[in-house]
Every structure is written in C-alpha cells, then in structure tokens.
Structure 1
Amino acid sequence: MLRLLAVALVALVLPAAASAASPTVDYGPISHQGLSSAGPASTALKLTVQIGMIANQSGLQTAVKNASNPASSSYGKYPSLSTLSSTYGASSSKRSAVANAFKRYGVTAKADVTDLRMSATISIGNAQKLFGTSWTQYRSGTAGQFVVLPTHTPKLPSGIAGNVDTIAGLRLTVSQSASSSSAHGPVVAPTRPVAHQAQAPVLGGTPTRTGTPATGCLAGQYPLQAAGTAGLMPNQILAAYGIAPLQASGLLGQGARLAIVGEAPTPASDVNSYRSCFGADGTPLAIHGAGSIQPILESSLDAMVASAVAPQLANFDLWVTPLDESSDDGDVLGFLNMLAAPLQATTSGHALPDVVSVSYGECESTVAPYTASRTIVERELSAMAALGITVAVAAGDTGSSACARGVPANQLTSAEKQVQASWPATSPWVLAVGGTNLTLNASNAITSSGTWNDALYPAPYTNATAAGGGGQSTLNARPWWQTGTASKRRVPDVAAFGDPAPGYPIICSSGVQKCGPGTQSVAFVGGTSAATPLVAGMVALWNQQARAQGLPRPGFVAPLLYLLAQRSPGAFLDITQGTNALFGGSCCTAGSGYDMASGLGSPRADQIAGLLATR
C-alpha cells in the first residue's frame, strides 16, 4: 500500500457569507477555525475542482445489486457505459447549467464519461467571483506551509445551485518552496536475504522458500538467488492456488481485460525479462501516461504478478497518474484521477477492463475529514461496480493499524498504533485483498497458511510493522453482500500470499526506485500489493471461463464470492492461524470462517471457476 499524505484539518463551520449556502452541498474541510491569517491568497493560484452532480445515485446502487447478486434474474446483465451515463448520470440540462456557470469566467467545466461528476481548473481570482467569497492564506502550523481556504462559506451561483451536491478541491496547500509530486518507495517490507538456512513454519507460514521451485532463468543469470532460500517462484504460486490447472486447460486470460492503476511506471524491458524468465510470455503490457516519471518497484510487482496468472489477456494496461504528497486532501482527488483513467480512456477507443488492480490506500482517520473528495471517489467506484468491473484493492501492509504505514517502528505514536482499517479497501464497491503466509510441500500444494505477520517471525525475518491489513470500517456501512451482523464494512474480503518472507521474485533494473545496482537484478518482495494483482488475475480467468461456457458475466465478484463461501466453503482455503495485530489488542485474529485477518480465506481459483455454473 502507498501512504497518501494529508494535512489533517477538522471540518468545522465557516463564518457565513452574506447569502447562506445550500445546506445540501458538501465542500469537505474548508474551515479555518483556529488558524491564523497570513493575508489574502494570490488570485493566480489554481484550484482543480471536482463537482458531484445531483444524479440517480440510488438507482445506480440498485443496478449494482441487481447485476451482481447471483440470486437476481438480472445477474450478469451489466449496462454499457453509455447506458449507465444516460440512465443514472446527471441530465444534459444540469450539466449544461454547471458548464455555463463556469463559462462566464472563461473556465471550461467538463463532465466525466459517467456524467456523475464534472471537473474544472479555475484561478482563485475567478473562483472568488463565481462563489461570492474571497480566499485567504492561513498558517498551517508547519514551517513554510500555508493552507488556502475560502474566507466564507461559498455561495452557489445560478446554474450550480440545485444541480450539484458535492464540491471538492476548494482548499489548497501551498509552500514557500517549490513542491512537486514524487514517486513513493515500494510498499512492501524490506527485501529479505537469499542465503539463510531454511526455517521451520511459524503460525502457518515459513519465512524461507518451501516446495519445489522452477527458477527459470535465475539458475543461469542469478545463481545465488536461484539456490537461495528467498522467494516462491511463479510455478509454485500458480500450483498453490489452483491457477495452474486452469492454465493447463487453456485459460490464460484470452478475451479478458485487466488494468493496473499506479502513480509511476515500470520499465517494459523488466516486465518482458520477467515473463521470458518464467515462461509467461503473452500480451505486452501497455503503459499509458508514464512521461518522464521514474519507475517504481510497486508497478513492477503489480505487472509481473498479474502477467504470471493471465499472460494472454486481450488488454493488459498500466495507467499512470502521478500523486502529489503535498496535496490539500492527501491527494484523494489525485487517486480519483488515477482510478478513473481506464474509464476516461474509453473516449479514445479503449475497452473497459474486467478487473482493476489497486495497491494504494490510507488509514481511514486521515481521509475521514475529506468528505467531499471521498464521496466523489465512492461514486466512481460504484459506477465501476455497476459496469461489472471488479476493483481489487490492497487492504494494507501494517496489519490492523493502517495509520502505522510508512512510519519507523521506533517513531510510531500511540495514535498510529490504534486499530484502523485502510480506505479505499473499506469501500463497499471493491474487493479488498489481505495477505497470508505460506508453507508448501514438494508438489507445491499448500501444507499450511496463516495470517501474514512478520512481527512474529524469528530474526532475521522479523519486521515489527509488516502484516496483512484488516479491520472494521468507521466510514462505511456493511454492504448487502457481506455476511455477518456487524453494522460496518469489514475487510479484507479474501486474502492470498503476501509475505515478503520469502516473497515474490521481481526483476528490476537500476532505473527503478529502490532497486539494486546493475543493469538488472532480482528482488524478493511482497505485501498485499502482491496478493492484489494475484487475485485480480484470478478474476480475469473467471471472466474468461464464464464467457467460454456461455455463463453470466461475474462482473463485480464480491457478492458471488461470499455466496460461494457459504455454499461451497472448500472453494476457499480457510485461514485459521495467526493474527494481524502488531501492537497488541484483539483485532484481528484468524479463525474458522470469515475473519478480519484473512476474510473468507484464500480463493482456490480452479474450484471457483468450476462453480460459476452452479450459482
């Protein structure tokens, strides 16, 4: 998981302007109570505004339920994008009215492809005229950093009033020095040594290699890594999760479409080398929007794991959208643009994906104040689910304490150690993926598997802040498809191998951030950012299987998986060992059936594929 940094401001009531704003519009945290003024904001500063339109949101949510509920007569009947926008999106009159309100100030406001939102980039000078209030620069409490906020509650002009219910992006964080987006480091625990003695299992998992690896090109090009004890090879993962039998039957992803969204690219040459090394040649990875952004190990991990599961996809895409760590809302709106990239690409002729792999997130308490931004992202996710797209989201890499992500163990505060789940994994419109450990036998079948928690491993494999994410949401209610009696959403939904001890082998070149020296090298990494593309690849194969057999399209698969877990529990490896608690407490311990350490357990890809006809 990547940590989205945010300036935590509490959303309080602003002093009212002369004309009261509509009480139904959510602006997010635009309060300046308790902040000291540093003078008027520069009118040249730019705001990127996302506008949530009044649309048929309830109808859209009903459409998701009808198409994804296996008991429904409409199961698998997902609308086209054009049907979705015309049926559930804002009307053309509403969109025109909002566009015209901005046009008066020379600003173009554009609707997205779903017609659920519009966006515009506007100077503060024009924003002051449009919204009837000045903007002021306030001291944030951090040296050299200021927060630019509306001085009074915005007044909605004609054309916007009555047509929108959410406006995000009216606040801005600025620094005295230049600030730019930077690539995040890998979201996995540190690379493990390759030459230690084999270890005994601990709570289901073994921190060194087990089973029988097919090391591919490593034996000739990287003999130390091939002969070492780090890393489970692709052949082992495919066998362990029942993917190998599907591939042997001809299911390699043909006709299915998988997209990865990330903030930076991976070198295509590294992905090609990995695939050639392990016999996963097939559909080339198409990278969009990379520009001059430095590649990161995260994107390499996503692409390589997915390509091993479904090498012959009809479309295999990596959509790159940079994130800005200094953004005023923790770049939730940057994540929105990242998430929306595969949908917006349909305007250029790209087909919609069947599944999207997302390895980003932030603890819920950080994003909680940013209600407007989150609402717009949640609506985007609901639209994707309504289109039959499974968005698989990593549940986090710091166990049940999502706020501990990226903080050294000796610097963690008590607040960061508290039980927190990771968003957007807690969205009701996604499939949240947790992490497990593994022990394999000589046939690469799973001997045992537990909750990933490296704090419980012996040295040198101990990592006090590395465990599979999980917990209960404080933001989202339990969706209709999730079993149990809890009132809130619980994550993960499923889990798969994510333990960086022993990890996955990744080939990376020196130009990749955090990669080793030399033209190319091998790293062994993990995290729920590895488990997520693994599960996303399974979803692609299930979609291919359904098409081949003339069955309803699985689409948004979370409801189906919960139903299958009830009817055919053997289709999942039930994880009953371990806990993802890193700092004490009872959340979250693995047990029989669903739990917040491992969800329903690990999907057995071949068994689920065989059950598609029995829903």
Structure 2
Amino acid sequence: MIVPAFLLHSTAVQAAPPSGRSVISGHLVPALQHHSPLHTSSANRQLQLSIALNLRNKAALEALVRAQSDPHSSLYHQYLTPQQFTAQFSPTEASVRSVVNYLHSQGLQVSSVASNRLLIDASGSLSTVERAFNITIADYTLNGSTVYAPTSEPSVPANLSGLVLNISGLDNAAHYHPAKHMAPAAGPGGGYTPTDLRTAYDMNSLISSANGSGQTVAIFELDGYKASDVNTYLSQYSLGSAKYSNVLVDGATNTAGAGAIEVELDMEVVSAIAPGATQKIYIGPNSTTGVNDTYNKIVTDNVAKVTSTSWGLCEASSGTSELSALDNIFLQGSSQGQSFFAASGDSGAYDCNNTSLAVDSPADDPHVVGVGGTNLQLGSGSSYGSESAWSNPSDTQRSPEGSGGGGGYSTYFSKPSYQSGTGVDSNSMRHVPDVSADADPASGYSVYCTVSASGCSSGSAGWIAVGGTSAAAPLWAGVVADVNSYLAGQGKSTLGNVNAELYTLFNTSQTYTAYHDVTSGNNLHYNAGTGYDLATGIGTPDVWNFARDAAGTTGGGTNDFSISASPTSLSIVQGGNGTSTISTAVTTGSAGTVSLSASVSPAGPTASLNPTSVTAGGSSTLTVSVGSSVAAGTYTVTVTGTEGSATHTASVTVTVTTSGGGTTTQALANPGFENGQTPWQESSSGGYQLIDTTLAHSGSYSAYLCGYNNCNDQIWQSVAIPSTATTIKFTFWLYVSTQESGSTCYDYFYARLRTSSGSTISTVKSLCNNTASGWKQYTFDVSSTLSSYKGQTVQVYFQGTTDSSLPTNFFVDDAALNITTP
C-alpha cells in the first residue's frame, strides 16, 4: 500500500544529541507526524539496514554529468566506468572502514559493502540499533496497520559526522507499489497489441532495422513473475525467443505474488517495442533497503544502459535522507551513461492518494526520466489518431480525487538545468513528468497473465487490458533501446544519459518532429497545453523521427588520442634542468582538448608543462628541474593526458648525477607502491591489504597503515647495501590524520632500519597522533648508521600502531634509499 504523507518535514521536536554525537536528519516519517506512538517496538525485532554514505566531490560529479550532456564540451558522452566512478567520487576506503568499525563496535552484523562503497548492509536487533543510533523505535497505527518508526532523528559519533547520509530500515511505514490499472479482456485484441503501439507511435521503420539488438534493458522489480505467461505473449505476437534472465538481490526469489502482473506487464511491453534487446530482471525485496540495494546493483553492474521502473511511492513518504541516497545512486548511473525511466504514478496530481498535490518517487529525481500518461486513440490501420492527458475523476479505487497520469512539482529536488523550453514555468522545483505515453486503462495494453495472486485468471482468460504509467515507462525504455541499436549501427555514440537529450530535441530546431504535443485534457489538476506541461511533459514520441533527429545530435564515435615523449630519458646534473617534448595525436573520433599533468616518483626533481592543455595533435614542453640538494639517482616523470574519459600516459626517465662525481642509485624497488605489493612484505592485525588507493602522494597508490582501533600494521623491504657505499640517504613522504584530540600521544608511527632478521638498527623517525599533518617529506643521512652493514642486507621498515580509542591514519609514499658509490 501507499501511505499518505502531508508534509515533507515532520514538526516533531528533535532533542539535542548527546555530547560528541552528530544528528543525521531526514529520517522522520512525515505520515506519522500527527500520530502518537502506541508503545516501544519489540526489542528483539531484527532490522535489516542499508546505510548510505555521502559521495566525495558531489558538486564536481554533477558538473561532470552536465558536461557529458553538452555537445560543446570535451567531456560530451565521455562516460565513466564503475571503477572510475569509485576512484573519483565514492567514499574512501578509510571512511567505509570507520563506519564499519563503529557498526561492529555496537554489535551490528555487517553483511556487505557495495562495490561502489555507497551502501553498507547491516543487521541487528531493534534494541541494538536503538543504542547504535541513539533513537527509540516505536509502533504506530497507520491506515489500519501497525508499523514501526523512530521517534527522533538518529545520530552517530561526531568523528563520523559527514560520512553517513541515510540509514534505511529504521521504519517500515513506506511500501512501494506498481503504477498499473487492469481490466479483463475478451482476448489478445482486448488491449493495444505490439502492432498497434508500433504503428501509432511510428516505430515500424526503426524496428525493421534496429529492434534493440545488442542492447540490454534492466527492469527493476519488487515481485516475481511466471515465465510461461511471458513466453505465451512472445509466441502470440511472434516476438522471437525469450531473452530475459534474473538478477536476484538481497535474497529475493522469482516467486510470482501480488505484484506479478506488474513484472509481466513490464517484460511484455519491452518485448513488444524492443524484441531484440536482452532483458535483465532485477528482483529485490519490497523494503527501502531492498529498493536501494536493487537500484545500486543495476548501477554497479553497468550492463544495461536503459532501465525501466514502474514501482514508486509518494515523494513525501520518504524522508529527505532516503531521497538523497537514491539520488546518489542515479547520479552514478548518469555519469556512466545509463538512463532510467520511471512511472510518474496513477493518481494524477495527488500522488499521496489524498487531496494534497504531490509527485512520485523516483520519477521526481532529476537523474531519472519521469514518464506520465495519456489516452491514445488510434486512426485507421492503427495509425496515430489523437491523444489527451489521462484523467478519470470517477476512478477512486486508489485516490479520492480519481486516477490519472502523475505530474506536478517536487517539494525536494530543484529544477535541473536541462529542464527548459516552452511551457516550463518559473517554479524553481523539479517538474514532473518529462515525457508521456499511453496509460489510460480505457486505451490499455494487451497483456497475458495467469497469476491468481495478482488478480489474473488462468487459461485464455489470462488476456487482460492493462493501463497505468507502469506501461508507459517500459514503452519508453524499449524505444530508447531501439534508438541506441540504430545509432550503434551507424557508428554513432548512443544516447547515454538521455535526460538532457530529450529536452535538446524539444528545444532546438530539428529536421523531424520528435514529439506529439499533447494539448488537451488534464491530470486531475494540471492542464495539458502547448509545449511542456505538468500533465504530459514534453509529449509522446514519434519514434522514427526521434531516432533520426538523435542521429544528428549525438555525433560520431568516441574520441581518443595517443601521447608520447621525446626524448624518453634525461641525464641531469644536480642544480641543472632538462626538457622533453610531449606530443599528442588523434587516434579515433575528432580532436578534443587534452589536459596535461606531470608527477615525479620518487620525490625530488620538479616537473612542469607549458602549455598544460593542448588540442589533440598538439605538443607541450616538459621541463625537469633538479635542485642542488636532490639526491643522485634515477627518477621517473609520468605525464598524464586526459580528454573526456580517455586517459593515457607517457614516461621520461631522469638520471640525476652529482657534480662531485660518483654514482647514486635508488636502491628500493617499487618505492611508490604503483606496482602492487612486490617486493614489499606486509603484516596487518586487521587483515587488511596495506597498499591501496585511499590516499597517494603521487601516482595512485600508497601504503595505508591503521585507520582502525587496536592496529599493528607493518610493511618492509629488504635492500642490499654495497660494500663500496660512501653516502646513504633515506627519504619518504608521510601523511598523518587522526580522530584523536589534544596533545597526548595514543597512536604511533615508526620508520626504522632493521637487520635482515628483523632486529632494529635504528628508529629513524617516530611520530604520533598529535603530529597530524598533510603530506610531508622526511630525509635522513644514514651513512654512519649503516656503515657497519656494508655488504649486508638490511630492511627498510614502516610501522603504525593505535590503541583502543579513536583511530589514526598513517599514509606512506615515495620512499627512497639513495646510495652513492665511487
């Protein structure tokens, strides 16, 4: 069921959190704001939680997504991989570790951390959860049912402030529902057939050559289906063999239940429009945790560039923290070039099923395409006749105001920059829907379903006519799969994140008319009109026109380039400098702007580029300067070029020589940890891999010691000291951050030289939590220290330790042992 919610923010007074804790707002259930709790809920009740963490650099990510949709940007259609997203925008491993450690310390069981680190799944008894987040969870009566929810906002220790965004699973008041209406039909002709839909929306010319082949559509579901029903539909309409498979999330099973008609509707409509596309049916539990994990699985899998979802709930039924958590997931999908089509709801402008204006989630999200509903009337031969906004004030089975296509203003999300054009008014909030398609049950879709639990009949009576925006969303998903197939066949980039492209085709002069402008009817409150309107959005598709226009706006294939250095090696005396020419060339696509940067490993020489960006095909001058105090030895300068999502590097080897003679060799192997663990050896009391990408001084990797309580992390490497060594210098870079306060030392870092058997020769440097600072270089002349170890093997050794209180992080990078011989 869908629960009513009258206000987005509860008027309940939040008590001040205990000292040292940080409140995470947005968890109070608006629908319960005028309800008194019955009593505290059962302490033994087991709760399944999905804890969402904040993104890093969200503003930069949103700017990237805008650039990816801007044809004038060098980042146009340069989409990220999940791995690139995680490296650039996900919470750090250290942040995840801090939250996981806290959950463990409170007695909660952590079952998984999502690969993008956005979600941590945990479980525990209600009493354990209450203690962990300083809340009371009570039972309430809501719409005749007993539900549970927190009576105040949760909080976490202050050291986790800013890390945790949302804790889903603290309540069970909200329940997602499908946006569909159904009625019995006499036979397959009782609703619009695939031929009717294709002809009316001008798809035949496209589907004859591009039917979704080579594309994958993800279909989000919270119930199972009966495969034989879908296969009967495919056979009846000669749509080819089944191309669907299941992805089960959080222990869900493909068991056809009350929502099976929704699942089968989605699969059958996508099959009707894009019969050549592969379908991935993502099925999760109908809970907030299940919803988040299922959407996140679609995004992290990244196998489908188009997703259809027909499950939603009134925007005000979710706390703002849950809306933000979903938005982060959809934002990642957008940055990866994924499009999401969501039904806008079937209660018209009254999505909370009362007399208050409201819109549906997730159609309200600016990184999702909200799909509204119309009544489609056919002309002769199933041709397009006319359309009007769908509304039926007499159909009050769900809402007292009637039924109709969802639409209106979000109360949470701001209007995105792409949402503009004739009819888009000055209201600063997100407008819903974006587009529409047939949804009125009076002009419904032919569907086959025999699942009795879902209200379907067996045998030939399984043919029913189904309406609702639940049908319009998969229709649009199928259309985009076909268009992507068409574009790929022409060697052009596919639509990717389609939100802005929809408005580009609406706002700019095109060769063909891509949309039917629906100008009559209403959605129980908002009237349809010229251009954009809150009843039908931009309008409904003329698919063949849409595809041909898109072919003219998406451009060619992916741009790519190469980068090289000449010369690739330099010999520079202390106090001198040298240069190398960095050249770029276009390898595929067209010339774009290549941004250039340089790094040096190990640290010592400095490198600069002039200019720092060139048009692909241009060149830049790399200048390497060596100070008089830079140790003699071998260094590597890495020049990185980035154009869109394409990144390439070129390397220059720099040999630094002393002005007084002698040869200096850098004796450590893999000093910047860029080549993995070898030949470093490591030991971690927490069982962690110590070389990772959490924070690096240069390159991508460093050694990460500690960051958790009761830590004893060690990393070391054996080095042979030449018998002729005259000078030995030990240097490394260190970054220290801590959650401890005050001047007392609790957590320690040691840099040591040890014998081959592990006995300490010298503790070169000892630091603790009260010396926290950013990256800092330490250099030591250890010639006399190792004078008696010439001709022997010694160990270069780093260690971090912490006590049982708040943890400290120690990051080591770009170590060197520079040995000069005659």
Verify the 8 A CA contact 1:436 1:451 in the aligned structure 2: yes
Map of 1:147 onto structure 2: 148
Q: If the length of structure 1 is used for normalisation, what is the TM-score?
A: 0.79
Q: 1:439 to 1:136 in 2, by over 3 A?
A: closer
* Secondary structure at 1:77 match in 2: coil
Partner of 1:579 in structure 2?
522
Change (3 A) 1:545 1:28: same
Hey, what does 1:209 align to over in structure 2?
A: none
1:191 to 183, 188, 191: 183
User: What is the distance in 1 between the residues matched to 2:534 and 2:175?
Assistant: 33
Q: Is the 8 A contact 1:472 1:491 kept in 2?
A: yes
Residue 444 of structure 1, aligned match among 382, 386, 391? 382
Q: Are 1:473 and 2:410 an aligned pair?
A: yes
The 1-side partners of 2:342 and 2:86 are apart by 25
Percent identity over paired residues:
25
Match of 2:99 in 1: 98
Q: Show the counterpart of 2:273.
A: 309
Q: Which of 175, 197, 217 is the equivalent residue of 1:258?
A: 217
RMSD: 3.1
Deviation track 1:389-409 (CA, whole Å, cap 9, x = no partner) reads: 1110011112112122xxxxx
Q: Does structure 1 retain, via aligned residues, the 8 Å contact 2:28–2:150?
A: no
What are the residue-to-residue correspondences of 1:572-611 with 2, within 5 Å? 572-581=515-524, 587-611=525-549
- The equivalent position to 1:499 in structure 2, one of 440, 444, 451, is 440
Alignment partners' CA distance in 2, 1:614 and 1:152? 51
* Amino acid in structure 1 at the alignment position of 2:357: V
Q: 1:494-520: CA deviations, max 9, x gaps?
A: 111112113111111244511024376
Higher strand proportion: 2
Contact kept? 2:269, 2:475, Cα under 8 Å = yes
Q: What residue is the counterpart of 1:278 in the other structure?
A: 237
Alignment of 1:502-521 (within 5 A): 502-511=443-452, 513-518=454-459, 521=462
Query: What one-letter code is carried by the residue in structure 1 that aligns with 2:544?
Result: D
1:236 is aligned to 196
Take 1:152 and 1:464, find their aligned partners in 2: how far apart are those partners? Answer: 33
Contact 2:5 2:316 in 1 (8 A): no
- TM-aligned CA deviation for residue 267 of structure 1: 1.1
Q: CA deviation at 1:302?
A: 0.6
Q: Against the structure 1 CA distance between its residues 13 and 418, is the aligned structure 2 distance closer, same or farther, given a 3 Å change threshold?
A: closer
Q: Which amino acid aligns with 2:370?
A: A
Separation in 2 of the partners of 1:503 and 1:558?
Answer: 26
SS in 2 for 1:46: strand
**SS of aligned partner of 1:59:** helix
Return closer, same or farther for 1:37/1:420 CA change in 2, 3 Å cut-off.
closer
Measured against aligned partners, the alpha-carbon deviations of 1:439-465 in whole angstroms (never above 9, x if no partner) come to 2222322121111224489xxxxx972
Question: CA shift at 1:49, angstroms?
Answer: 3.9
2:225/2:255 contact within 8 Å kept: no
Gaps in structure 2 of 5+ consecutive residues: 554-822
For residue 366 of structure 1, what is the aligned residue in structure 2?
Answer: 317
Distance 1:183 1:354, change over 3 A: closer
Asked if residue 355 in structure 1 is aligned to residue 306 in structure 2, the reply is yes
Confirm whether residue 299 of structure 1 aligns to residue 236 of structure 2. no
Whether 1:269 aligns to 2:261 is: no
How many Å separate the matches in 2 of 1:263 and 1:473? 24
CA deviation string 1:86-144 (max 9, x = no partner): 1110111111222222233363264323223323223344435544x364545557878
- What is the aligned partner in structure 1 of residue 733 from structure 2? none
Q: Do the aligned partners of residues 170 and 261 (structure 1) sit closer, same or farther apart at CA in structure 2, a change above 3 Å counting?
A: closer
Return the letter of the residue paired with 1:252: N
Aligned residue type for 1:590: A
Measure how far apart 1:53 and its partner are: 3.0
SS at match of 2:155: coil
Structure 1 equivalent of residue 474 of structure 2: 533
How far apart are the structure 2 equivalents of 1:259 and 1:512?
Answer: 24
CA contact 1:355–1:389 (8 Å) conserved in 2: yes
Aligned counterpart, 1:423: 361
3-state DSSP class of the match of 2:282?
strand
CA 1:422–1:7 in structure 2 vs 1: closer, same or farther (change >3 Å)?
A: closer
Q: Distance between the aligned counterparts of 1:381 and 1:474, measured in 2?
A: 18
Deviations 1:250-271 (A, max 9, x none): 2011111101111112211111
The letter for the 2-side match of 1:116 is L
Offset of 1:54 from its aligned partner? 4.8
How far, CA to CA, are the matches of 1:333 and 1:381 in structure 2? 16
TM-fit CA distance, 1:334: 3.5
Pair 93,500 (structure 1): closer, same or farther in 2 beyond 3 Å: same
- Checking the alignment, whether the CA contact within 8 Å between 2:48 and 2:169 is kept in structure 1 is yes
Looking at structure 2, the residues matched to 40 and 574 of structure 1 have their Cα atoms a distance apart, in angstroms, of: 52
Q: Map Cα deviations across residues 334-393 of structure 1 (whole Å, 9 max, x no partner).
A: 42233223235x3xxxx52111101122223333xx122221111111111111111100
Q: Say whether residues 1:391 and 2:340 are aligned partners.
A: yes
Distance 2:223 2:359 in 1: 25
- Would the alpha carbon gap of residues 429 and 134 (structure 1) be closer, same or farther in structure 2, given more than 3 Å must change? closer
The aligned residue for residue 428 of structure 2 is 487
Are the equivalent residues in 1 in contact too, given 2:376–2:438 (CA < 8 A)?
A: yes
The structure showing larger relative contact order (alpha-carbon pairs under 8 Å, at least 6 residues apart) is: 1
Residues 333 and 373 in structure 1, CA contact (< 8 A), matched pair in contact too: no
Cα distance in structure 2, aligned partners of 1:613 and 1:316: 24
Kept in 2, the 8 Å contact 1:99–1:110? The answer is no
Q: Note the residue ranges of structure 1 that are not aligned, 5 or more in a row.
A: 175-180, 195-221, 324-330, 405-415, 458-462, 582-586
Confirm whether residue 10 of structure 1 aligns to residue 10 of structure 2: yes
Q: Is the 8 A contact 2:246 2:282 kept in 1?
A: yes
Q: For 1:468 and 1:375, how far apart are their aligned partners in 2?
A: 25
Q: 1:458-469 alignment to 2 at 5 Å?
A: 465-469=402-406
Which residue identity does 2:18 align to in structure 1? A
Q: Which has the larger radius of gyration?
A: 2
**Could you tell me the TM-score, scaled by structure 2's length?**
0.60
DSSP-derived class of the 1:87 partner? helix
Paired with 2:154 and 2:283, the residues of 1 have a C-alpha distance of 35
Aligned to 2:292: 336
Change (3 A) 1:167 1:550: same
Q: How many angstroms does 1:560 deviate by?
A: 0.6
